[in-house]
Amino acid sequence: MLTRSEATRPLDNINSHFSLTIFICHLHSQTRLLSVRMPPTRLQQHAEFLLRFPRELRDMIYPDIVKEELPVSVSNLVISGEEGHVKEPNARPPPTQHPIICPQKSHPIIAAEALEAFWQCNTFVLNFEALVASGRTLDARPKSHIRHLVVSAREEQINALYQGGNRVSCVEFECRHRSDPERRRWCELLTFPRLESLTINMIKRKRKRLCWMYFSPILHALREQQPGIKISFNVSFDEMLERDRNDPQWEAINGQPWGGEFESAGFIDVSDMFVPATREDWQYVDEYLPDRAMPTGRDIIRGLSTESPNQRRALGSLYFVSEPPLLRVQMDEHWKVYQEFEQGLHDEGSTAASL
């Protein structure tokens, strides 16, 4: 344990950015012990030692203590004030202990600040299906601090985009489906007021079409709510391709099952398809696709089943949607309709009756 004179000695030499960096490293070396379990009395001593320094310096130290190596699952996360650690029942490896966030074992002020840093510096994973299955809602406190979020989602299978083979209008969709559970789960993202980065990992389930009207206006709303937020969108075809490979039909046709194990291609980045439409997008659509009808896409299973993982990653965006400029324009148009409904400019009862 440092004496007071030893702890304050580096302060005499802080007269430049370089010396401040050395000082912070000095503090880190003394507070790193807080990341391991220790007797409460010693932990309290270290917490009181931290209180001698300004909040700005403490905030630079906390990430070194509570930063996790892997993303943390929000769906299973429980913060226990009594035990002072983070429990993640379905996670591997076993949960990491953070006794510093327990007020009884460290210090009420330090515990509150460290817990806030825990939410701010780590990346969290929100699994929509696990959250819905659990029937739980997320606590508002971590939502207000989380900066980095990864969403695991599956493409909706509901054919809400098409009726009688024709694509429904944005007004019709919002009138009939804006209260669906599929939309409400995406609206959950709007309750994270300080997001800096959002990564969506979606498992594709439709072979030729993309069901996007549930989530696309939420992405626009997030950009309006959090200017500067970085949104990444990744898609995986592995589930449907592996299911097709293991289908008994191949054994019936060929006399033997499809040989070899399925090789996963992982997630493919298609973020550029979910940005606001450019002037070039509008010009292209007005000239070549004036009816705003999205052509049927390439069949994912027929086109990618025999390709290697590298080829699937290279070709994946071509099978995701047939006309990216049209998708961006349609999402912009849908965003305007979504805003009108949010502002009450559409009477849902009369609108539904007229459809």
Mean predicted confidence (pLDDT) in 124-130: 84
Is pLDDT at 355 greater than 80 in this prediction?
Answer: no
Between 19-23, 87-91, 181-185, 257-261, the lowest mean confidence (pLDDT) is in 87-91
pLDDT at position 102 is: 80
Say which residue, 2 or 200, is predicted with more confidence.
Answer: 200
Every domain of the chain and the residues it spans: 4-117, 147-249+263-354
Say which residue, 223 or 40, is predicted with more confidence.
Answer: 223
pLDDT at position 214 is: 93
In which band, very low, low, confident or very high, does the pLDDT at 29 lie, cut at 50, 70 and 90?
A: low
pTM: 0.78
In which band, very low, low, confident or very high, does the pLDDT at 69 lie, cut at 50, 70 and 90?
A: confident
| Dihedral sign for Cα atoms in the order 164, 168, 172, 173 | positive
3-state secondary structure 270-312: CHHHHCCCCHHHHHHHHHHCCCCCCCCCCCHHHHHCCCCHHHH
Single-letter amino acid code for the residue at 230? K
pLDDT at position 92 is: 31
Q: What are phi and psi of 207, to 5 degrees?
A: -80, -35
Q: For residue range 151-197, what is the model confidence (pLDDT) as tens digits? A: 999 998 766 565 544 567 899 899 988 888 889 889 989 999 999 99
Mean predicted confidence (pLDDT) in 24-31: 54
pLDDT at position 275 is: 95
pLDDT at position 259 is: 63
pLDDT at position 269 is: 97
pLDDT at position 132 is: 65
Nearest to 173 by CA among 337, 289, 336: 337
Contact between 136 and 113 under an 8 Å Cβ cutoff? The reply is no
Is pLDDT at 330 greater than 50 in this prediction?
Answer: yes
Mean predicted confidence (pLDDT) in 110-139: 81
Mean of the per-residue pLDDT values of the chain:
79
Mean predicted confidence (pLDDT) in 136-161: 80
Percent pLDDT > 70 in the chain is 71
Q: For residue range 193-234, what is the model confidence (pLDDT) as tens digits? A: 999 999 999 999 999 889 999 999 999 999 999 999 999 999
